[in-house]
Structure 1
């Protein structure tokens, strides 16, 4: 089977635009979900040779400029456009994008596009090591935990040069993986942002699936192998077998290559994928619980009480002058809180329903995904709404234009776009919605598990763990938070 790269496809003007009127309905669907590809505009866009390259190229160029600005621009993070875009805009907007559109960011991510470019030029295209495939969730969680620790110990957020170094390290890793391995091995099995994205995309509002009845007679497997129209799935997914949106980036390669127009892209109720998960996987649950711990840490470290804890540790526990040691002592117990709560709930539920702690932990871990996503977005809103002006001021500074920070020195300025009370209202509303999503997911998963003799009791135990985490996060959000930059 002949395959081509994204870049060869871009230069081929002969690629046809598929007619949405020729799409085949799936006879297995009594009530088929709405298909966005039935819209001619969406269909033409995703079948176009310009998707996703029309976004990949400018985003990569902008990324190069931001790295330059991190090194050559102002040392004050408040005035540095690279820091503002990276930590206020991108990192805060990412969970919102994942909720609304799934992993579409991964389709246009500059690191992923860099992987594609390197692979085309010097790629050896070795198969992804079996070790990565078996342990991907734990590897991504481990990298995420290390990066989070390093971020806080070194103060990367407030140091543009350090942020630039971190981006270059990730770029180097992406280049190495693109040169050695096939497709997007880095994105699928190692990248910590990929791990976060796969976790949240399970609760997202968009899904790509294949009409299985149509696919059952397909002999080409073009969606996985690729054709002259587009390469095979860069994330190693086979649409016919997909039951999760965790790894789909909506790059639309399968839309271009499918000879039967059997791919659909449909909106869905948030968290609905989780309700129908029949066999929760322990690594997925571990990743979800681990990310919940990281989000909890990010909230805690922005509070005055965190400084009090550091002072007590420094004076009475570590008695060292090394702040990295002080932080590490508090870091591990903090990120472990959700895991401990879920494990205790799993053990208690096991005494009631007779299932193993691993089985209950796997199920309960999935219910943490909507709660973690809601808390993360609530945290992000603090930065977007509470520090949004820093983006505008740093842009004006990069353009050499006068702005309030240039005269006030950026000290004690109100960077908020809306009043603090309005931000609190938004945050608690998001937490309430996340709580409802988590509880409903717990209810549906418990009562949908035929192997559970006491689904009501299982749900009750899971609900207690959820509500304890909700209470803890509400306490943290009630405290005054410090600005990130």
Structure 2
């Protein structure tokens, strides 16, 4: 059963940012979100050009710095603070809109993508992460540039044939990540039920003279999640009844009572934890020992073979731990169906810790390599700046911040499990609490080890 909005539970009317005239007027204007989209698209074009045609030295390529040292670390903060707003200003989305409006045939999304889109997104995210470690995409400006061009090609291809943002909804590798993280976010867009139920126009979905229908195929009247809302403002522009509100909320509160939990979200939540482990392990000294140990079993010294084994094991461990925890928690009369249901429901509790692990890992890059953004950007404009240490702070400071972030994420995950379990007895929910603590300990241990730079 879904948990209502926290403010509603407490008898308070949710704060509506659209009640502030200047915010509402801006979102309803033609400038929103276009002004942000064009700025990002121009920067994106420069990044792709530099990646493909600039220096092959990743430490001096501004495209590499802006993509992997700045954008990638900031992305989870975007999702936590303002939901999927990035998806509105994302250059892929803007390219999709332009292609579709000029030469698109706007055919309905294929049934295959509609049914399996979430699984495709999960697999695409895993494939890109795997490819990075096999072919060194992050360390290679050319590799990063070609990846972005491949994605642009996919965007153009889907936009020529299919309606709205089919690519963003069912194929974008960030789709699952942004959906999961945005559920933890502190901002939500909703309709007013009393107004929406009497609406005959359905302009939020169908569109109007003021704006197109929702690019992510959402119907505000029934929308109960931030996972697929880009905050593009189309529904705000189109709604004839002033029903839409944009409200701040308690982070993670949406996870407390997801109405329609699905295994695709839970699977990705567990897998992301394994991927964070991989990203950390490959940057510490014990990685070579792990490869040798795997090699002794596989009988191969081929890096790709042994990394593949390590990658699969790392992803499988959190999935297996979650499944085992669900079985332990349902030992007293728990059927297979009950175990599966618990596995899916409580998988959402891992998301805050996922977010914390992702943030903590990326914090290392932006703090210890962040000055490269300034040096490389200055060089792009012909300024000759003497390069020095790339770090903003010491490694010990970074580790302290990483520990704090992981602890906060652990608290968020434990409390989310508590709320998903309807504030049940401690002994009933203890296995899930223990799982979150175990995952946190592994993260903290890995962050305690000296890390090497990849860029």
| In 2, Cα distance between equivalents of 1:444 and 1:180 | 43
Q: 214-223 or 300-309: which moved more? A: 300-309
**Residue from 40, 55, 59 that aligns with 1:59:** 40
Counterpart check, 1:142 vs 2:123:
yes
The Cα of 1:287 is off from its aligned counterpart by 1.9
| In 1, Cα distance between equivalents of 2:352 and 2:275 | 15
Q: Is the 8 A contact 2:327 2:334 kept in 1?
A: no
Give 2:4's aligned residue: none
**Residue from 103, 114, 124 that aligns with 1:133:** 114
Change (3 A) 1:395 1:229: same
The Cα of 1:398 is off from its aligned counterpart by 1.6
Counting only pairs closer than 5 Å after superposition, residues 281-320 of structure 1 correspond to structure 2 as: 281-314=262-295, 316-320=296-300
Q: Equivalent residue of 2:421, what SS? A: helix
Give 1:8's aligned residue: none
Q: Equivalent residue of 2:317, what SS? A: helix
| In 2, Cα distance between equivalents of 1:107 and 1:233 | 11
Q: Equivalent residue of 2:308, what SS? A: helix
The Cα of 1:150 is off from its aligned counterpart by 0.5
User: Gapped runs of 5+ residues in structure 1?
Assistant: 1-25, 406-412, 449-453
The Cα of 1:353 is off from its aligned counterpart by 5.8
| In 2, Cα distance between equivalents of 1:376 and 1:48 | 35
Q: 382-391 or 28-37: which moved more? A: 28-37
Q: Is the 8 A contact 2:326 2:339 kept in 1?
A: yes
The Cα of 1:421 is off from its aligned counterpart by 2.0
Give 2:452's aligned residue: 482
The Cα of 1:132 is off from its aligned counterpart by 1.6
Give 2:432's aligned residue: 462
**Residue from 359, 378, 390 that aligns with 1:377:** 359
Give 1:198's aligned residue: 179
| In 1, Cα distance between equivalents of 2:280 and 2:215 | 34
The Cα of 1:71 is off from its aligned counterpart by 1.4
Give 1:471's aligned residue: 441
Counting only pairs closer than 5 Å after superposition, residues 399-414 of structure 1 correspond to structure 2 as: 399-405=381-387, 414=389
Q: Provide Cα deviations, 1:131-176, integer angstroms capped at 9, x if missing partner.
A: 2222222111101111111011111111100111100111101111
The Cα of 1:350 is off from its aligned counterpart by 2.2
| In 2, Cα distance between equivalents of 1:28 and 1:229 | 35
Q: Equivalent residue of 1:265, what SS? A: strand
Q: Provide Cα deviations, 1:79-108, integer angstroms capped at 9, x if missing partner.
A: 000000110101110001100000000000
Give 2:3's aligned residue: none
Give 1:359's aligned residue: 341
Give 1:41's aligned residue: 22
Q: 276-285 or 110-119: which moved more? A: 276-285
| In 2, Cα distance between equivalents of 1:125 and 1:371 | 39
| In 2, Cα distance between equivalents of 1:132 and 1:182 | 12
| In 1, Cα distance between equivalents of 2:78 and 2:294 | 38
Moved over 6 A (4+): 26-29
Counterpart check, 1:420 vs 2:374:
no
Counting only pairs closer than 5 Å after superposition, residues 81-230 of structure 1 correspond to structure 2 as: 81-230=62-211
Give 1:22's aligned residue: none
Q: Equivalent residue of 1:77, what SS? A: coil
Give 1:326's aligned residue: 306
Give 2:213's aligned residue: 232
Q: Provide Cα deviations, 1:443-469, integer angstroms capped at 9, x if missing partner.
A: 111026xxxxx7544411111111111
Q: Provide Cα deviations, 1:169-212, integer angstroms capped at 9, x if missing partner.
A: 11101111111110011101111111110010000000000001
| In 1, Cα distance between equivalents of 2:332 and 2:38 | 55
Q: 274-283 or 41-50: which moved more? A: 274-283
| In 2, Cα distance between equivalents of 1:484 and 1:140 | 26
| In 1, Cα distance between equivalents of 2:81 and 2:197 | 30
Give the TM-score, by structure 2 length.
Answer: 0.95
| In 1, Cα distance between equivalents of 2:85 and 2:319 | 29
| In 1, Cα distance between equivalents of 2:299 and 2:434 | 38
Q: 429-438 or 396-405: which moved more? A: 396-405
User: Gapped runs of 5+ residues in structure 2?
Assistant: 1-6
Q: 340-349 or 255-264: which moved more? A: 340-349
Q: Is the 8 A contact 1:28 1:213 kept in 2?
A: no
